[in-house]
Amino acid sequence: NAGVTQTPKFRILKIGQSMTLQCAQDMNHNYMYWYRQDPGMGLKLIYYSVGAGITDKGEVPNGYNVSRSTTEDFPLRLELAAPSQTSVYFCASSLRPGRTGGYGYTFGSGTRLTVV
């Protein structure tokens, strides 16, 4: 199994450009998440999805958009890129936790984005 696959691994954008960060998982996980990681700040939730066709905002959604047309894919769209969006972006997925169990996330390897 590939797990969670993110593409591209690196990208440099100019201010005002747009791009889509791709995320795909092959574990049939219902739950998917996008986080951004900035130095010394931990991981902040951007958007999440609890299943195909259902998405919702996290803590830092401004400047981003998502869609979830299939269980496998959860792309993150950046419109009008700004320097503040320079970060490392991680996609993660998980099963729905059971009554007695907790399931951790499976993370992708990340996309390092620089906006200049």
Partner 1 sequence: QQQVKQSPQSLIVQKGGISIINCAYENTAFDYFPWYQQFPGKGPALLIAIRPDVSEKKEGRFTISFNKSAKQFSLHIMDSQPGDSATYFCAARESGAGSYQLTFGKGTKLSVIP
Query: From the list 15, 16, 56, 80, which residue makes contact with partner 1 (rule: CB under 8 A)?
Result: 56
Proportion of the chain in helix, strand, coil states, percent, rounded to 5: 5, 50, 50
Could you say which residues in the range 9-38 bind partner 1, by CB under 8 A? 31, 33, 35
With contacts defined by CB under 8 A, name the span among 16-24, 66-74, 78-86, 94-102 that binds partner 1.
94-102
Q: Which is nearer to partner 1, 15 or 50 (CB)?
A: 50
Task: State the Cα torsion 97-78-36-86 to the nearest 10°.
Answer: 170
Instruction: Answer yes or no whether residue 104 interacts with partner 1 by CB under 8 A.
Output: yes
Q: Is the CB of residue 60 less than 8 Å from the CB of residue 78? A: no
Write phi, then psi, for 63 (nearest 5 degrees): 90, 0
CA distance 25 to 13: 25
Q: Which is nearer to partner 1, 32 or 78 (CB)?
A: 32
* Interacting residues with partner 1 (CB under 8 A): 4, 31, 33, 35, 40-43, 45, 48, 50, 56, 58, 90, 92, 94, 96-97, 102, 104-110
